Chains A and B, each alone.
Chain A
Amino acid sequence: MTYELVLEKTAPRENRRVPRGPTIVGSTGEIFSYPSEVSQEIASLYSEDVLSRATSDKMVLRAVPTKAFLASVHEYVALVEPIGATTTAPDLETSHLISPPFDKLSPKAAIAVTSQWQVPCEGAFEFLADYFPNDLVRLVSAGILKPVDLTLAAESVGRIPVDALVQRTLTPLLEHSDAIVREGAIYGLRGHENVEIRARLAHMATSDPNWGVRQVAADALTEF
């Protein structure tokens, strides 16, 4: 998969939270940033390498997201190839380049997650929980994930260290029609329970129609 970006030589606009140095913006003005530990180095390398070859204020780049995106700044920059100069943003829609369901994420999150995973999976959802929690919450709440994916995404929501957000996102899933989703929601709520949720779990432990859900709800109410 490739993704076209526009590299601006101009300074970041005041209201954009981006690292110092050149910014990378998508065709519709999105800002792409990098893990904090590498952002400064990337900015520096762009300044020295890519921008030295730029012939105008804006330059179209083709970025190839790979695992190197997070592993090595140098490898990543090597994969960013100038493919032509332009003075206007190219006609490019992010949703055409990122596979579902990741096309529903913000461009920044979509690029980051698809640089490592092409399909919904535990690793991708955990990554979103750790680095793009609001994107994961939106994805879980959107009702577009298949039950086998939604159950893993729901459990990953539990990694977000904000009780109220986790509760608000997962409590509705305790009533989901699919047992594996209810089970995933219970896993996600572990450590985020309040009195109301514990009461719900107690009820599910005795009344849920699915054996597995009853077991998991009962487990959630016991020690550990």
Chain B
Amino acid sequence: MSKALIRFARKRLSIWSHDRSDREVQQLEFTNRDGVPDLRPSVFEIEFKDLIQAYAEYATLRNPPETSFGLNVAGVSRDLDRSPGKTGFRFTTDAHREVALRDERDLLAFIREIRRDFAERKHDVNKKQIVEYARGRLAHSDAEWLAAVERAQTSRPDSWVAKLSRPSPASGK
């Protein structure tokens, strides 16, 4: 069975509403921070069962962690390039791919294709799930998560990953 190609929603969940234009989706979700269209959007080639792990690891690059969804872009006929991810975790580093798009017109066509059967492609993942997953890995002394927390405590002490080492308010400790 072939794996899914998951693209996580990045900027605004509501931009994916059916009443938005493909151009608006491109401007928010497929544009880099300098306003340049992203012709090599990132995806993760994974099994569905690993969706929460993939998103939790991906979310360590962001702050705070957010409810989101993964879009399975499998089936859109574009070349995929292997490209090491930047999460620092072996799983998502190995699973990272870039969709090779020719130009902005091809990008808009790609967006149109994945929006066409959006409901079937969308797989929700929420903030609570990834925080629980991360805490679970730390409880099992997962070396990669321990390292991620240590890195965050040095470089981003206010980030959610750095704060994972502190007791959860719900734990009452």
Give me the interface of A with B, judged by CB distance under 8 Å.
117-124, 126, 147-148, 151-152, 179-180, 182-184, 190, 210-213, 215-216, 218-219, 222-224
| B58 at interface by CB-CB < 8 Å | no
- Whether A215 contacts B13 by the Cβ 8 Å rule is yes
A120 nearest in chain B by CB position: B35
Q: Give the one of B15, B24, B63 with max A CB within 10 A.
A: B15
9 residue pairs A–B, Cβ–Cβ below 8 Å: A118-B35, A121-B34, A148-B24, A151-B28, A180-B12, A184-B12, A223-B131, A223-B168, A224-B64
| B66 at interface by CB-CB < 8 Å | yes
- Whether A219 contacts B12 by the Cβ 8 Å rule is no
| B83 at interface by CB-CB < 8 Å | no
- Whether B33 contacts A122 by the Cβ 8 Å rule is yes
| B14 at interface by CB-CB < 8 Å | yes
A148 nearest in chain B by CB position: B27
Taking the closest CB of chain A, its distance from the CB of B18, in whole angstroms, is: 12
Interface of A is mostly: helix
A120 proximity list for chain B (CB < 8 A): 35
Taking the closest CB of chain A, its distance from the CB of B3, in whole angstroms, is: 27
In the bound complex, CA of A117 to CA of B34 (Å): 7
- Whether A212 contacts B13 by the Cβ 8 Å rule is yes
In the bound complex, CA of A107 to CA of B35 (Å): 22
In the bound complex, CA of A212 to CA of B126 (Å): 12
- Whether A117 contacts B16 by the Cβ 8 Å rule is no
- Whether B67 contacts A211 by the Cβ 8 Å rule is no
Which residues B2-19 have CB closer than 8 A to chain A? 11-17
Which residues B60-83 have CB closer than 8 A to chain A? 63-67
Q: If A222-B127, A224-B160 touch, does A183 touch B12 (CB 8 Å cutoff)?
A: yes
